[in-house]
Structure 1
Amino acid sequence: MPPIPLHRFRPRLLGSLKGYGRDRFLADAGAGLTVGIVALPLAMAFAIASGVKPEAGLFTAIIAGFIISALGGSNVQIGGPAGAFIVIVYGIVERHGLANLLISTVMAGVLLFAMGLLRLGALVRYVPVNIVIGFTNGIAVLIALSQVRDLLGLRIDKLPADFFSQLRAFGQAMHTFNPHALVLGLLCFGGLLLWPRLFKRGDLLPGIHLPDRLTEAGMFQAAARMPGQIVALVTLTLASTLLALPVETIGSRFGGIPQGLPAFALPAFSWQTVQQLFIPTLTIAVLGAVESLLCARVADSLGQSAFPRHDPNQELMAQGVANIVTPFFGGIPATGTIARTVTNLRAGATTPVAGMVHAVVLLAIVLLAAPLALHVPLAVLAGILLFVAWNMGEWHEFARLRQFSLAYRTTLLGTFVLTVVFDLTVAVQVGLVSACVFFIWRMGTLFQAQPVPSGVAGVQVIGLYGALFFGAVGKIEDLADQVPADSRVLVLEMHRLVSMDASGLDALVQLQRALQRRGVRLVLADLNPQPRSLVRRAGFETALGEGGLAATLDEALRRWAPAQPLSPAT
């Protein structure tokens, strides 16, 4: 047995540094600085929404972000905590505890590395697009739902993990509604929506055009390059502090952020724990693989020919290493992040150095400015996450559903509803099963067995179209009853039969036996390579007897046109 071919571990960084000079470094450093600033509020917000302390998100963005860029297979991908993981991480922490989340993340990292090593990166592309849209939109809804507590300033000690329990908790705590928190959150969300429009040709709103002298000013141009999340975070935090608004902050809930990275620590480990964490581990690994490779494909499409396309297997191995290492320093699951990757690309990044600089920038902020995070209102972070959820969801796909088939609509909506109401793991499992069932049904309906005029007395011809597999064998089982009583030969013209599986072959064997009992000969004509190979390997050519396989339909008709005595097939 030949050895399994393994993927060579070769980070994209090694090839990117050939001919690397000062100009490219400055471009990458500028992009890394921009992304590092953008990643700061997102990393904290993702961590808080996931049920862990804000520093866990920062540690993940620093450590995993550096590793993914240094060892990955993409020139511009930025790794770190992602919105897609919020629901998964929160559920694991609620059900199994933080220590088990760290163990599950390490095991998911091992799976990701193994997937890349075994060249399984391409398999992620076979996840149907309607399933991806369904669970992406579902996750976006759950992210938004998880921010209702902080957006409304509700006093809920511990938010439940499941959908209906969360709704019940919101209703029970509605008497603690804080209007100041709502105003801050809505100002943040609205500001993030308007910020890009403000600097796009000077158009703030339809019909409102800013003067050219203002849009051409240096201060205006400098402001245009500022990330909206940082502007919202700084301005609203200052406003909340100066006005002494009675809202919950990072300091009041978590006691602040430590200045420095945590020490290496081993979580408690047992085989009994590993058995309980199998499903969460698999969920983290699969979701991380899908998210990172989708993100890399988006970067490739935006980057066009500016740099080589990503290496999916190398990217999975880098994601694996990052998720193995980061939990030992208090981090949470990491993957490729579309928003930060696109920001990195548009800021002028050309190599993985930009992603490494982004991690260094975050580390410098943690070391120098961590105490300032004490005053950040949680309602502002909720507004940022609402904006992330808004951009994350592909809401236009719901409006386009009527353009697609019933199977497509059912799978997308089913995955969406199951993600929101039950669990992402259940949603993906049911979505994949339903997609397979609908695919089998569709392929079965495409298979046709249609009569073809033969022009020869006693010879019936039926043309087979499509794929003869286990989902279509029912149309073969009825053919024996459709052959007229005076027939001597049944010819199956198989030129348009593209493939056949073992179940299809068995249906032909049963058809041949049924015809033989009636004294009718079965002939297969014009087989494509795959069906012909299967027929010969299974010994069915011998069972058909001499002349049982014909190169063309004309050859079969010429052979059986004369009245010949029919010898029983061997």
Structure 2
Amino acid sequence: MPQAFTPKLWTVLRGGYASADFRADAIAGLTVAIVALPLAMALAIASGASPDKGLITAVVAGLLISSLGGSRVQIGGPTAAFVVVVFNVIATHGYDGLVLATLMAGAILTVAGLVRFGQIIKFIPHPVVTGFTAGIAIIIASSQVKDFLGLAIPNVPAEFVEKWIAYFDAIATVRPETAGVGLASLLIILATRRISPRLPAYLFAVVVAAAAVALLKLPVETIGSRFPNMPTGIPAPSIPTFSLVKAEEVLPSAFTIAFLAGIEALLSCVVADGMTGFRHRSNQELIGQGVANVASAMFGGLPATGAIARTATNVKSGGRTPVAGIMHAVFILLFMLFATDVMSYVPMAVLAAILFVVAWGMSEAKRFFALLKMPMGERAVLLITFGLTVFLDLTVAIGVGVTLASLMFMAKMSEAGGVVNGRAMLNEQDADAEDVHQRDALPNGVEVFQILGPFFFGVAGELLSTLRGMGEPPRIIVLRMRLVPYLDASGTTALEDFVHEAHVADCKVILSGVRKQPMEVLNRAGLGRNSDRVSHASNYLDALAMIASADGKASAD
């Protein structure tokens, strides 16, 4: 089997797996399961399903994503990215339509992995990803207002504007007890995260809120009152009912689910790589995600993907191998089998509070506002994608966002074409430093890389991959950018991540020969000539002179 298509679990087990590894993975798995329990239930309810569907997904899909995926530490399960799509599919086609769409999405992901589409993530611009994730966050938070305040609204409208009109019309029906439980839960989560980040804030809030409601006999809606006949355990698998008519109806939703699952899973892998120093196998990860979604559908579960926050929790908790993800699924299964009755006491308001926090984290507000400082084209893609997600449709938003980003990129390239090949536009001193000899005069501990052509969303990831693949980092890295006519928001984000990782590794970064458009973007991102995070040289020879001068000064001292 080619290494690109070998699950990381197999690689780990072949290399030797000690009892110490299992202890670390088991502890991490238990920690992640504690975080995932309330999340899985809350996400399922927000999606229009019963809480047991979220737990089934966490067990079945979580087990298979860890067993067959291409990452050592990926944690899979239901995520907030699916809430809007799943809710709409259930409302339009029923739960059987969602199961069929999930099954088809799994097949699409498996085929995408087999034909090596794992690198496709690099072609999704950051303004598009940030725009639709922020839009989804707004929709998720909006959907929880009724449960958070206890509003008396029999049927909440699906459309964003109509939803808020209904909320304002029913504002007089706010239940103080429900709103109090919701607000207290929110404060508990935020305070716990601030005071003791290692504690499971979500579970802590759930336990406190459930105990308070039960002991004080508060008239607050709970999981038990809304879902009185919730099944326990994992149901037997079955093949979803299939018809060509139904398949044609849910096909657009299946592609959307597959797209979101692939993007979030691979983004989570990239985050995990940065935290662990390992490299994931993107094509195998897509195959693992595909098989997991097919299995989730057969057990009546929801769509699943890699969960960035839970994956990060796994790494921080000491998870070393895919066994941690498998143990996380096992612990959730044990909870379903032996503690399902406890779930009936959980107030709906605390789950709404949890989703408020999830939505805030998903919004990436800091990155959203940073992108608003980018050039007009980048801002337009961000805001259009965001607006279409909130007010129209997620599928349309993604399609329009990617199309606009592509058209603007082509326009920029046509404008820059005369400059890229124009020898006269280059600094003469830089032009004499031939590329083939760029390493000849390098001092010890210094590396140089030259970026050729536009530094855009299609090549941004290569920069981080280069740094992570170097083993022991050098003390100084020179990035030659004289042949970069254009830098976009995704390239800037990758450069910021590169500079951050270099700083953590005690490695200094010098940018040489930065041209006008890239320099304008870097100034807005805080990486310009006045930045204390990077140094700038007008050309490559000046960069070498800066290094020599600094080394000479250090020797004299």
**TM more than 0.5:** yes
Structure 1 gaps of 5+ residues are: 200-223, 454-465, 468-495, 499-570
1:341–1:129 Cα change, 3 Å: same
C-alpha separation in 1, matches of 2:259 and 2:2:
20
Give the partner amino acid of 1:431. G
Aligned with 1:303 (options 269, 273, 276): 276
Identify the residue that residue 11 of structure 2 maps to in structure 1.
15
Q: Percent identity?
A: 46
Structure 2 gaps of 5+ residues are: 425-452, 455-482, 486-557
**1:86 aligned to 2:83?**
yes
Aligned with 1:186 (options 176, 183, 188): 183
Give the partner amino acid of 2:230. I
Could you list the per-position Cα deviations for residues 215-254 of structure 1 after superposition, in whole angstroms to 9, with x for gaps in the alignment?
xxxxxxxxx7431111110011100111111111101111
Aligned with 2:162 (options 144, 161, 165): 165
Greater Cα shift, 148-157 or 332-341: 148-157
**Which runs of structure 2 are paired with 1:116-127 in the superposition (5 Å)?**
116-127=113-124
**Which runs of structure 2 are paired with 1:87-106 in the superposition (5 Å)?**
87-106=84-103
Judge conservation of contact 1:188–1:383 (CA < 8 Å) in 2. Answer: yes
**1:290 aligned to 2:263?**
yes
Q: CA RMSD in A?
A: 2.3
**1:344 aligned to 2:314?**
yes
**Which runs of structure 2 are paired with 1:113-512 in the superposition (5 Å)?**
113-199=110-196, 225-255=198-228, 257-304=230-277, 308-448=278-418
Identify the residue that residue 484 of structure 1 maps to in structure 2.
none
Cα deviation, residue 68, structure 1: 0.4
C-alpha separation in 2, matches of 1:497 and 1:394:
28
C-alpha separation in 1, matches of 2:161 and 2:58:
32
C-alpha separation in 2, matches of 1:358 and 1:452:
58
Q: How many equivalent pairs are there?
A: 428
Could you list the per-position Cα deviations for residues 406-433 of structure 1 after superposition, in whole angstroms to 9, with x for gaps in the alignment?
1000001111111111111111011011
C-alpha separation in 1, matches of 2:325 and 2:265:
14
C-alpha separation in 2, matches of 1:163 and 1:497:
42
Judge conservation of contact 1:6–1:117 (CA < 8 Å) in 2. Answer: no
Give the partner amino acid of 2:136. I
- Mark the structure with the bigger radius of gyration: 1
Cα deviation, residue 451, structure 1: 11
Secondary structure of the structure 2 residue equivalent to 1:74: coil
Cα deviation, residue 322, structure 1: 0.5
1:404–1:243 Cα change, 3 Å: same
Cα deviation, residue 392, structure 1: 1.4
1:6–1:127 Cα change, 3 Å: farther
Could you list the per-position Cα deviations for residues 120-151 of structure 1 after superposition, in whole angstroms to 9, with x for gaps in the alignment?
00012210011111111111111101111101
Cα deviation, residue 190, structure 1: 1.8
Give the partner amino acid of 1:375. Y
C-alpha separation in 1, matches of 2:11 and 2:157:
47
Secondary structure of the structure 1 residue equivalent to 2:344: helix
1:336–1:269 Cα change, 3 Å: same
1:448–1:248 Cα change, 3 Å: same
Cα deviation, residue 393, structure 1: 1.3
C-alpha separation in 2, matches of 1:452 and 1:192:
59
Give the partner amino acid of 2:218. L
Q: TM-score, normalised by structure 1?
A: 0.72
Secondary structure of the structure 1 residue equivalent to 2:208: helix
Judge conservation of contact 1:8–1:117 (CA < 8 Å) in 2. Answer: no
Secondary structure of the structure 2 residue equivalent to 1:51: coil
1:6–1:286 Cα change, 3 Å: farther
Cα deviation, residue 117, structure 1: 0.5
Identify the residue that residue 24 of structure 1 maps to in structure 2.
21
Judge conservation of contact 2:266–2:282 (CA < 8 Å) in 1. Answer: yes
Identify the residue that residue 67 of structure 1 maps to in structure 2.
64
C-alpha separation in 2, matches of 1:263 and 1:165:
40
1:146–1:447 Cα change, 3 Å: same
Judge conservation of contact 1:249–1:377 (CA < 8 Å) in 2. Answer: yes
